[in-house]
Chain A
């Protein structure tokens, strides 16, 4: 074969060079001179304890991902407590949980192999983060998957309360528009001063939406946020004094528990409206209910309550309140994104890559 010929003489055929896939130089070297590839990790699939039935997957009829061994307490004849003491449970390297199944220090103590906790919840008040930190356990959350959806519901609830959407819909369905005439007038959203409590991912999405309706945004957060031009109030009472609407977007922790109390709500005023898409216990529910019943607070849009699924009876008869069954995240798009995120986090962690949605201490 002539030198520089495009043809390469292979043992069993002659092949034009354009048909040969380009391979790295090292592979042309004799075998002995090449660096040996790293040995494939031979390990059993990581064991993941499911504290609750993985309803995000079952809601969409999605199978759990391959490559993991899922430990399912409900399939064991033992009660949960007994199961947690079993060798099988104690082999768990990761826990997948949701807002309804707390990851306590006690639980972590019983499962010494756990190195990762994944929660499907936007909030993480149900995880003992301090204990996780102490034990070097990584924690992953829902990341950004829920922010838009939660913000959408916050706006929807606010419009409903101010414009009496649910109340008028009930009025029409009872035939009262024909027989009684016009329903009561609502209150204009544009120009309302809206105070966001907690300007995290969700709070920012709420702010962005409400600005388009002509609302004036201000906020309270643990710390003033740099690069944010909305007016900051260092305490919630001052925020309420200067707003017509409060939207609760913060997480639940020791400081925020019952942070919204009678004083704050009175500062919001008789025409004031509160929207809660955070956690029930951020508001002193008993005090809020009393003020609503007495007409000292204008209205409320609530997706969360102190003792879900129980809603204070007194609220059930009020027209200036809109009640939502903790539905801030209940659309197929978001549930699917959440499943992808859970799988992504598991795969990342167990191939020593960074988590997709680590829960950082803010």
Chain B
């Protein structure tokens, strides 16, 4: 299989890169000095693209790769892949569901605790020597707080299960109400935000959910409300979020994703009611290895004419 050309869209995982190199003819798109030139030269041999949450396969790239058969994403999110184009051309698409569900849900709760209990801010307080001068101020209890989840899929459900262990009443908004669900459903995100203390974004990014967290929702969440985003940066109208936090109109935020990663609005750097993570939702050794194995397994299956492990298209 080492004559099969695989284009890796961006750096994502050393182990995956290594293995792709071993098994296929690997092209590292980010190292290419002149992309149009490169594509002219090598497009004919590229039969697979490996993408991630950072870069995938948009319409332009798909059009430039006439022999593309499969896009295997090192992520569960598919927002960087033109799924319509793939369907149109009969290109298969796979992602990495399930293996990262727990890590992302764990981090969502970790962010709730870090923001409400000011864990990062108090760690900084201790490191700066301020504890010697006086105690840290009162923070906010997490147990029992109402949690609203946008998107009750695999990740949303896992977040709910964890929050329940803290006696948090759970409510949610989804495209459709889930039958046999014990959590309270709100038909709109604004209504959900008005009725919860902590709002967690856990839905996929689609044209419909872009900026699902807008000024109206932020106002509904209010000066004591907390927003946790472990979805995608574009779920949130970032400038609105930043001004709400800076002006105290929103109580706090725990963010793992941003509109223009790795750029993070600097106005947030001085706020202690905000926790800023560098897109590490699935960022554990165990899970990244499992994701890499899924990508490799899917490619292997495709090129040996076996059923794909986690197909989306």
Partner-B contacts on A (CB < 8 A) = 59, 148-149, 151-153, 155-157, 159-160, 162-166, 168-173, 177-178, 181-183, 185-190, 208-209, 211-214, 308-311, 316, 322-327, 330-335
Say whether A178 contacts B109, CB under 8 Å.
no
Binary interface profile of B, 263-298, with partner A (CB < 8 Å = 1, else 0)? 110000100000111101001111110000000000
Contacts of A311 in B (CB 8 A): 126, 131
Q: Decide if the interface of chain A is mainly helix, strand, loop or mixed.
A: helix
Say whether A190 contacts B143, CB under 8 Å.
no
Say whether A152 contacts B166, CB under 8 Å.
yes
Say whether A148 contacts B143, CB under 8 Å.
yes
Say whether B119 contacts A157, CB under 8 Å.
yes
Apart from A181-B11, A332-B140, 6 more pairs, CB < 8 Å: A153-B117, A160-B120, A163-B284, A166-B123, A185-B288, A188-B106
17 CB-based A-B contacts, threshold 8 Å: A59-B138, A153-B113, A156-B142, A160-B123, A163-B284, A165-B275, A170-B120, A172-B264, A178-B262, A185-B284, A186-B284, A186-B285, A188-B284, A190-B102, A209-B166, A323-B123, A326-B135
Contacts of A155 in B (CB 8 A): 109, 113
B76 to chain A, nearest CB (A): 16
**Cα A262 to Cα B162 with chains together (Å):** 33
Q: Does B122 contact A (CB under 8 A)?
A: yes
Greatest chain A CB density within 10 A among B103, B264, B278 is at B278
Say whether A173 contacts B136, CB under 8 Å.
no
For A190, give the chain B residue with the smallest CB separation. Answer: B102
Say whether B165 contacts A208, CB under 8 Å.
yes
Say whether A163 contacts B280, CB under 8 Å.
yes
Q: Does B306 contact A (CB under 8 A)?
A: no
Say whether A165 contacts B111, CB under 8 Å.
yes
* A152-B161 CB under 8 A given contacts A163-B107, A177-B264, A309-B132: no
Say whether B286 contacts A163, CB under 8 Å.
no
**Cα A156 to Cα B110 with chains together (Å):** 6
Nearest first, the 4 A-B pairs at minimum CB distance are: A156-B113, A212-B165, A159-B110, A323-B126
Contacting residue for B277 out of A149, A169, A189, A335, CB 8 A: A169
**Cα A183 to Cα B142 with chains together (Å):** 27
Q: Does B182 contact A (CB under 8 A)?
A: no
Say whether B263 contacts A165, CB under 8 Å.
no
**Cα A102 to Cα B135 with chains together (Å):** 19
Q: Does B114 contact A (CB under 8 A)?
A: yes
**Cα A270 to Cα B106 with chains together (Å):** 23
Contacting residue for A156 out of B117, B125, B162, B285, CB 8 A: B117
Contacting residue for A159 out of B107, B269, B286, CB 8 A: B107
Contacts of A182 in B (CB 8 A): 278, 283
Say whether B264 contacts A213, CB under 8 Å.
no
Q: Does B40 contact A (CB under 8 A)?
A: no
Say whether A152 contacts B142, CB under 8 Å.
yes
Say whether A152 contacts B285, CB under 8 Å.
no
Contacts of B124 in A (CB 8 A): 166, 170
* A160-B119 CB under 8 A given contacts A212-B164, A323-B127, A325-B125: yes
Say whether A325 contacts B122, CB under 8 Å.
yes
Q: Does B139 contact A (CB under 8 A)?
A: yes
Binary interface profile of B, 152-171, with partner A (CB < 8 Å = 1, else 0)? 00000000011011110000
A164 to chain B, nearest CB (A): 8
Contacting residue for A327 out of B122, B127, B263, B285, CB 8 A: B122
Contacts of A162 in B (CB 8 A): 284
Say whether A159 contacts B166, CB under 8 Å.
no
Greatest chain A CB density within 10 A among B106, B107, B137, B166 is at B106
B52 to chain A, nearest CB (A): 11
Contacts of B167 in A (CB 8 A): 148
Say whether B276 contacts A173, CB under 8 Å.
yes
Contacts of A324 in B (CB 8 A): 119, 122-123, 126
Contacting residue for B165 out of A173, A178, A211, CB 8 A: A211
Contacts of A213 in B (CB 8 A): 102, 106, 109, 162, 165
Say whether B141 contacts A159, CB under 8 Å.
no
**Cα A323 to Cα B120 with chains together (Å):** 9
Contacts of A189 in B (CB 8 A): 102-103, 106
Contacts of B123 in A (CB 8 A): 160, 166, 322-324
Contacts of B127 in A (CB 8 A): 316, 323
For A323, give the chain B residue with the smallest CB separation. Answer: B126
Say whether A183 contacts B278, CB under 8 Å.
yes
For A159, give the chain B residue with the smallest CB separation. Answer: B110
For B128, give the chain A residue with the smallest CB separation. Answer: A316
For A173, give the chain B residue with the smallest CB separation. Answer: B269
B308 to chain A, nearest CB (A): 25
Contacts of A177 in B (CB 8 A): 261-262, 264, 278
Binary interface profile of B, 95-110, with partner A (CB < 8 Å = 1, else 0)? 0000000110011011
**Cα A172 to Cα B279 with chains together (Å):** 10
Say whether A212 contacts B126, CB under 8 Å.
no
Contacts of A334 in B (CB 8 A): 141
* A166-B120 CB under 8 A given contacts A171-B278, A209-B165, A332-B138: yes
For A322, give the chain B residue with the smallest CB separation. Answer: B123
Contacts of B166 in A (CB 8 A): 148, 152, 209
Contacts of B161 in A (CB 8 A): 212
